[in-house]
Amino acid sequence: MLAFKNKNILFLNSKLILLQHNFKRFIIRNYTNNSYSRMSLDNCKKVAAYKAVDDFVRDGSKVGIGSGSTIKYAVDRIKELGLKNVICVPTSFQSTQLIVEAGLELSDLSRTPELDITIDGADEVDKDFNLIKGGGGCQLQEKIVAYSSKKLIIVADYTKESTELGENWKKGIPIEVVPMAYVPVMKKLESSSFGLSPKLRMAVNKAGPVVTDNGNFIIDAQFSKPLSNIPQLAIDIKMIPGVVETGLFVNMTKTAYFGQTDGTCKLKSI
C-alpha cells in the first residue's frame, strides 16, 4: 500500500514538473522581451495613423510624411485607400524609402513648398501640445516640413500622451548640433542657466556617434525636474552657437491621435 502511494506521489510530482516547464516555455515565448507589449503598441500606432489619414488625406492632398515607427502605417493607409494625385514630401531617408516602396508620388520642398498637412509621430505630447521629437534623430527636417504645412497632425500610441514633458519620455531633449561644436554646446547646457544633463548620442551598429541625415551629431539633454517656460527654453537652446535645431516643438500642432489598447483612437484637439 505504501509503495502504491509513493508511486502516485512520484507520478503527480512528474506531472507538476511538466506543467511548470510548459508554463515557463509559454511565458518565455509570449511575454519575454516585451513582445506582447510591442504587439499591442504597434496596433495602437496603426489605429492612430489610419484614423488621421482617413480624416485628413484626400485626392490631390500635399502631405508631409514624418519619420518613426508609426509613420509606416500612415503610408500604408494612403496606399490602401488608392487616393489620386497625392504628393508626398519626406522628412528623412526612412520616410523617403517608405514613399518609394509604396509607389506614392515623391516630391520635396523645392518643388512642393506648401503642404496641406504633415502627419508625424512624437516621443511625447504634453497637455499644452508641446512636443518632444527627435528620438529617431530627424527633428530638423521634421520641423522644416511641418512648418511648411497648414497643419501638423500627430499620431502616436497612448504612452506618448502626458501631462508634462518628461513624465513618460526619459531620454531628454534631442538637440542637433554641428560636430565641431558638440563639446562647447554640452558645457553650456550643463551650466546653471540651463541645468540639463547632456549626453552625445552614440550609434548602436557603428563605432562613434549617431550622424543625422544632415551630417550632424545629436545631443540628448536630460532633465530631472519639470521644464518651465518651454517656449523660452526652446529659443534659448536654439540660440547657442552650434545648435542647428532642438526636439522641442512649440505651438506647431493642435491635433493629436492616440491609439488605445482597446482598439479605439483618442482624438486630442484644441
Q: Which residues are designated catalytic?
A: 142
CA 210 to CA 74: how far, in whole Å? 26
Buried b / exposed e along 11-22 (16+ C-beta atoms within 10 A): eeeeeeeeeeee
